[in-house]
Amino acid sequence: MSKSLVRTPCSLQEAIRANLFLNFTVIPVKGISNPNPANSWIVEQFTIHPVDALLTANPNLVRMWGDARPEYRAMDQRHKARNDPGYLGLFPVLYTVKNTNHSITTYHGLYRPRNPDLVRQQSTQDALMDMVRLCETYICQGFPLRRVEGPAYALPGRMVRKKKTYKWTPLFNDWHGQRIDFGGLYTFKTKMCPSHLMEFCTSL
């Protein structure tokens, strides 16, 4: 989801120049009869901010951002050690639990698109937004997507309790014939099935 969001030409260039931050705000879900790590929260919104603006608006994040710098530098060095000429830097992603002081930061490697002209096309932008909404929908329904062995795409699954831990189990083994229901909240801009959509977005 994060990688699709930063594939737009505007945000990719701004991420390089302005040190942007992707912020996911999640909301805890109450009153669940069978809570698990996948259905206990939903994504309320996702926004992209300049880091300086975000820290100014949220002083409590300043220390966390500073504490995360050693991890940032170490991960950046690992990426650079691969000598990939397409590597541009790390893109910070902040996950915040609404109305709490709980947050966590992760980083995604930012790489040049293999075909920048293709990324700029409206049809590609539509596919990327479909990918974002597909991920958001399954996350909010409590069915996280996970890559499985074999195909070059992810499948939705449920978290099943095994003794004292939870194990991810796929809902099905193939996207073929599966109906994607957004409840009328979103209409696919492209005609691609989820597996083709994921393969296309990964190829960019």
Residue 201 CA from chain centroid, whole number: 13
Least confident of 75-89, 118-132, 181-195: 181-195
Q: Are residues 118 and 107 in the same domain?
A: no
Q: Are residues 86 and 73 in the same domain?
A: yes
Residue 11 has pLDDT above 60, yes or no: no
Least confident of 76-85, 116-125, 172-181: 172-181
* Among 109, 116, 114, 65, CA closest to 89: 109
End residue of a domain, out of 60, 93, 112: 112
Q: Are residues 86 and 122 in the same domain?
A: no
Q: Are residues 99 and 15 in the same domain?
A: yes
Residue 171 lies in domain: 113-204
DSSP state of 180: P
In contact, 163 and 96? CB cutoff 8 Å = no
Q: Are residues 67 and 108 in the same domain?
A: yes
Residue 22 CA from chain centroid, whole number: 9
Residue 77 has pLDDT above 90, yes or no: yes
Percent of the chain at pLDDT above 90?
Answer: 19
End residue of a domain, out of 112, 142, 174: 112
How many domains, in total, are found in the chain? 2
End residue of a domain, out of 112, 139, 160: 112
* Residue 194, Cβ density class (10 Å: 0-12 exposed, 13-18 middle, ≥19 buried): buried
